[in-house]
């Protein structure tokens, strides 16, 4: 659209524009002058005329084949050609791409939930911190946040196995004083056997599904590589960077665990940016809408190790033919072990973490400092 033609007509003004002379001056056709003058006198927006597409009669078929049966663009094109479609492949491919993008937008709308409906769960994974003695602690932090109140439960762990996930969920329900009706998870291996994508449905792990049934919540899985669907817990994971300044400020696991708990209390009593609420205050209302606390005895069976190990007079336990030291105050008592990746974790009273060992071929695995614990 030539702005010089429009501007010159406006400058001259009036109803007696010499269209032929103006067309020669601006080197355009007389019809161009006429059309521009007419449009300026009647400045209604031109209506876009939607032209019928050869694809229109087949769009419903295409949607079904793509959404329900996960068909690829070329295969759909070959199919509808046999149904009478006479257009090209490019039109089909572009339509399917736009259709999928629309479905993704619908699926990634952030959850703004009603009280008691939903929580989101994830991990802050493999974070490394250094204690006062220069020892490196590789930690994980379980994260759970209620969708309505933004009330948060976080827990320091040394692994992310399924038993640990169950234990953290149970502890979270206790902290919330109830259980949400549904929980949104990332596609973690402890939860799903087959991840959900825009074209495939999730397949939940059988043992996890049994746990969710007993706990009384419906599990949901977010779409892979679409972090927008779990935005609240993603934000919480970033908040955990508050731990970085505590490098060389703690000595033991217990001290670090205390720091994590203090951070949890702090963030639950701070104003949430963007929504302007204080989680601890809003939670007082939301907890009335949570499901009742589940039966603890039934849920504990999911993560309590079945076998215990008695600590010998030498302050050692035997596990899979190898000996491992523990603090001397545990002599004569029973401890439990969980194994993940290439490590074993030793607990007392099921949940109290004692120490961790790398699995090795050595018969004796000993930590000198254990002899100093009374």
Flag whether pLDDT at 266 surpasses 90.
yes
Mean pLDDT, the chain, as a whole number? 84
Residue 340: predicted pLDDT: 66
Give the pLDDT score at 108.
47
Q: Convert the pLDDT of each residue in 126-155 to its tens digit.
A: 899 999 999 999 999 999 999 999 999 999
Hey, how many other C-beta atoms are within 10 angstroms of the C-beta on 186? 19
Q: Which stretch of 14-18, 89-93, 326-330 has the lowest confidence by average pLDDT?
A: 14-18
Measured between alpha carbons, how far is residue 322 from residues 9, 92, 329 in Å? 95, 63, 21
Average pLDDT over residues 18-32: 77
Token pair 């419906």: residue: 218
pLDDT-derived band at 31 (thresholds 50, 70, 90) equals confident
Q: What is the mean pLDDT of residues 105-120?
A: 70
What are the respective helix, strand and coil percentages of the chain, to the nearest 5? 45, 20, 35
Q: Of residues 358 and 195, which shows the higher confidence score?
A: 358
Contacts 24+ apart (CB under 8 A), 258-261: 260/141, 260/154, 260/155, 260/156
Amino acid 106: pLDDT: 58
Q: Which helix (H) or strand (E) holds 357?
A: strand 352-358
Size of the chain, expressed as the number of residues it contains: 374
Q: What pLDDT shows up at residue 1?
A: 53
Q: Is the pTM of this model over 0.85?
A: no
CA geometry: angle 250, 254, 255, nearest 5 deg = 30
CA distance 353 to 301: 18
From residue 174, alpha-carbon distances to 148, 213, 242, 290 in Å are 18, 17, 25, 11
Distance from the first to the final alpha carbon of the chain: 89
User: Is pLDDT larger for residue 44 or for residue 180?
Assistant: 180
Lowest mean pLDDT among 20-29, 90-99, 347-356: 20-29
Start-end of H helices in the chain: 3-12, 19-26, 30-41, 59-67, 73-82, 89-107, 162-176, 206-215, 231-239, 253-268, 279-286, 296-303
Please tell me which residue, 367 or 298, carries the higher pLDDT value.
367
pLDDT confidence tier of residue 121, bands split at 50, 70 and 90: very high
What is the mean pLDDT of the segment spanning 225-254? 81
Per-residue pLDDT, averaged over 201-223, amounts to 89
pLDDT for residue 225 is more than 50: no
Nearest residue to 182 (alpha-carbon basis) of 234, 117, 115, 122? 117
> What are the distances in angstroms from CA 221 to CA 35, 140, 182, 255?
57, 21, 10, 34
Higher model confidence: residue 62 or residue 343? 62
pLDDT at 373: 63
Using the 8-state DSSP alphabet, how is residue 133 labeled? Answer: T
- pLDDT exceeding 90 applies to what percent of the chain? 48
Return d(Cα 103, Cα 111) in angstroms, integer. 16
pLDDT digits (tens, 9 = 90+) for 312-347: 999 999 988 899 999 999 999 999 887 766 788 888
Domain topology for 118-302: Nucleotidyltransferase; domain 5 (3.30.420)
């Amino acid at each position: 659209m030539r702005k010089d033609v429009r501007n010159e007509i406006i400058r001259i003004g009036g109803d007696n524009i010499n269209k032929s002379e103006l067309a020669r001056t601006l080197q355009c056709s007389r019809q161009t002058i006429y059309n521009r003058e007419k449009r300026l006198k009647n400045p209604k927006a031109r209506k876009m005329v939607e032209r019928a597409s050869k694809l229109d009669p087949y769009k419903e078929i295409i949607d079904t084949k793509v959404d329900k049966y996960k068909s690829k663009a070329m295969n759909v094109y070959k199919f509808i050609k046999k149904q009478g479609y006479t257009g090209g492949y490019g039109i089909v491919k572009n339509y399917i791409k736009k259709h999928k993008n629309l479905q993704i937008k619908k699926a990634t709308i952030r959850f703004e939930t009603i009280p008691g409906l939903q929580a989101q769960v994830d991990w802050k994974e493999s974070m490394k911190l250094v204690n006062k003695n220069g020892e490196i602690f590789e930690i994980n932090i379980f994260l759970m946040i209620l969708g309505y109140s933004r009330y948060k439960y976080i827990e320091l762990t040394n692994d992310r196995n399924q038993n640990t996930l169950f234990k953290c969920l149970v502890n979270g329900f206790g902290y919330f004083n109830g259980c949400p009706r549904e929980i949104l998870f990332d596609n973690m291996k402890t939860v799903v056997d087959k991840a959900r994508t825009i074209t495939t449905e999730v397949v939940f792990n059988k043992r996890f599904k049994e746990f969710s049934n007993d706990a009384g919540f419906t599990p949901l899985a977010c779409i892979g590589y679409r972090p927008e669907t779990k935005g609240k817990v993603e934000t919480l994971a970033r908040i955990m960077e508050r731990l970085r300044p505590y490098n060389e400020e703690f000595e033991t696991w217990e001290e670090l665990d205390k720091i994590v708990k203090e951070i949890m209390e702090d963030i639950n009593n701070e104003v949430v940016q963007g929504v302007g609420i204080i989680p601890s205050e809003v939670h007082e209302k939301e907890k009335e809408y949570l499901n009742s606390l589940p039966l603890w005895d039934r849920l504990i069976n999911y993560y309590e190790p079945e076998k215990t190990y008695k600590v010998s007079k030498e302050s050692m336990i035997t596990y899979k033919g190898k000996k491992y030291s523990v603090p001397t105050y545990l002599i004569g008592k029973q401890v439990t072990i969980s194994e993940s990746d290439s490590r074993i974790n030793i607990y007392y009273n099921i949940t109290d973490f004692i120490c961790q060992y790398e699995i090795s071929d050595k018969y004796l695995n000993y930590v000198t400092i254990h002899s100093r614990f009374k």
